[in-house]
């Protein structure tokens, strides 16, 4: 069975054809800089062979038509069993993946205010696919769905209650597909019982969030109403004093939207270091003695460790801390620093295991006998393909 997985962003479109049973990928690709003269589409076949084509000025519809054409050429279009779409915001409406019908489309649209940058292109992708693949069943997989199990005390902000009632202001949490997959995989790898498990997942990529998963369910997470809250990220600040926004509006003579934009795009690792939002580049700078890069990495790790420790509260105990995402899976020094900060919770790093991402110890990077921390690669596309396959085959 082959599933087409689509992640339609504001100026990009990621796609992959995945067999969720065999867990293999026939092809994947990325259309980027959509709407600009430099728009292009890159294909990567299972053999690793890459091919890039220009689609100058191409929008989402043109890119999707090019994907459709490319799939036909490769003999992949006819055998598709369904299409799975990543949808960022499901608000309080969706606590699981959904087979898409008129109602679901309306639901996604009703969450535009909550996910203004993501939901409109996500829905656009769904509508374009409806035209290109008439009759094909489509599934929406929501970033927020896994976190709908959070209790009120975790998701409500201490602000006027009317903001929640009238404006749906609450924590939603994101990266849900990754947290769901990685927590389940951790439970499986460690031979835990889902119904009696306490796992923290640290998803550390360009965007970063951590989640406390108790008995298989999200009970608290670091991202909030938007993906700006929580951990330090590549370009996002994460937690700050909320009064900082009004303060900087006055100082800079900018409005709140502009300052919020700076918190989203010019803060975090890039803001502190002035060098890069990319952890690999920053670590290379640290090796060259760049003090601002060092500062950025230190703040990243320190704040991350504090947030991880806080997630022990809803769990009551920690069976495992799982590192995932580009940084979590690959950055040996970041994991080492974070584990060092977390000694208080019984973690003790095994440097040899950490150096090989725990490949020889079932992912484990801490010593036997100390609290377990491990590396668990995420696979959000596979989750989307699995959910889609499950729903289209009933």
In whole angstroms, the minimum distance from the beta carbon of 305 to ligand AMP comes to 17
Return d(Cα 312, Cα 317) in angstroms, integer: 6
Residues 331/208, Cβ–Cβ less than 8 Å: no
Which CB, 106 or 359, lies closer to ligand AMP? 359
Alpha carbon distances (Å) from 59 to 28, 66, 126, 194, 252: 19, 11, 14, 44, 35
Whose tokens are 């973690």? That residue is 347
Return d(Cα 187, Cα 180) in angstroms, integer: 11
Which listed residue (19, 143, 241, 368) is catalytic? Answer: 143
Residues 227/174, Cβ–Cβ less than 8 Å: yes
Pick the piece of the chain touching ligand AMP (CB under 6 A) from 2-10, 28-36, 253-261, 321-329.
321-329
- Is 327 among the residues that bind ligand AMP (CB under 6 A)? yes
Counting residues that bind ligand AMP (by CB under 6 A) gives 12
Pick the piece of the chain touching ligand AMP (CB under 6 A) from 32-40, 144-152, 225-233, 324-332.
324-332
Return d(Cα 190, Cα 194) in angstroms, integer: 11
Pick the piece of the chain touching ligand AMP (CB under 6 A) from 25-33, 47-55, 84-92, 326-334.
326-334
In whole angstroms, the minimum distance from the beta carbon of 294 to ligand AMP comes to 15
Which CB, 138 or 209, lies closer to ligand AMP? 209
- Is 12 among the residues that bind ligand AMP (CB under 6 A)? no
- Sheet of strand 320-324, all strands in order from the earlier edge strand to the far edge: 217-221, 208-214, 198-204, 320-324, 373-375
In whole angstroms, the minimum distance from the beta carbon of 9 to ligand AMP comes to 13
220 flagged as catalytic = no
Binders of ligand AMP among residues 265 to 284 (CB under 6 A) are 278-280, 283
| Whole-angstrom Cα Rg for the chain | 21
Catalog residues that contact ligand AMP under the rule CB under 6 A: 205-206, 234, 278-280, 283, 325-327, 330-331
């Amino acid at each position: 069975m082959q599933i087409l997985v689509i992640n339609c962003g504001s100026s990009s479109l990621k796609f992959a054809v995945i067999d969720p049973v065999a867990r293999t990928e026939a092809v994947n690709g990325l259309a980027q800089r959509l709407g600009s003269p430099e728009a292009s589409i890159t294909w990567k076949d299972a053999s690793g062979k890459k091919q890039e084509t220009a689609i100058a000025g191409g929008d989402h519809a043109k890119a999707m038509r090019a994907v459709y054409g490319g799939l036909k050429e490769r003999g992949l279009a006819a055998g598709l069993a369904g299409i799975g779409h990543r949808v960022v915001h499901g608000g309080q409406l969706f606590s699981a993946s959904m087979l898409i019908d008129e109602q679901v489309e309306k639901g996604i649209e009703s969450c535009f205010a909550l996910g203004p940058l993501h939901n409109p292109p996500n829905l656009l992708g769904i509508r374009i696919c409806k035209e290109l693949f008439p009759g094909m069943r489509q599934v929406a997989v929501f970033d927020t769905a896994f976190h709908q199990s959070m209790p009120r005390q975790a998701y409500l902000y201490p602000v006027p209650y009317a903001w929640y009632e009238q404006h749906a202001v609450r924590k939603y949490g994101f990266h849900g597909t990754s947290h769901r997959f990685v927590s389940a995989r951790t439970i499986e790898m460690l031979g835990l019982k889902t119904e009696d498990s306490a796992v923290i997942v640290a998803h550390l990529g360009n965007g970063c969030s951590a989640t406390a998963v108790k008995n298989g369910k999200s009970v608290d997470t670091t991202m909030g109403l938007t993906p700006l809250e929580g951990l330090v990220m590549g370009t996002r600040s994460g937690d700050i004093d909320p009064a900082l926004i009004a303060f900087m509006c006055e100082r800079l003579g900018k409005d709140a939207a502009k300052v919020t934009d700076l918190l989203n795009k010019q803060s975090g690792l890039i803001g502190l270091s002035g060098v890069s939002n990319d952890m690999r580049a920053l670590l290379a700078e640290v090796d060259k003695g760049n003090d601002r890069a060092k500062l950025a990495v230190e703040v990243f790790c320190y704040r991350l460790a504090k947030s991880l420790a806080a997630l022990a509260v809803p769990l009551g105990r920690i069976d495992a801390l799982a590192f995932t995402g580009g940084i979590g899976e690959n950055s040996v020094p970041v994991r080492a620093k974070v584990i060092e900060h977390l000694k208080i919770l019984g973690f003790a790093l095994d440097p040899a295991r950490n150096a090989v991402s725990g490949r020889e110890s079932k992912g484990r990077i801490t010593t036997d006998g100390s609290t377990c921390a491990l590396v668990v690669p995420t696979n959000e596309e596979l989750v989307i393909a699995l959910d889609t396959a499950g729903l289209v085959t009933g």
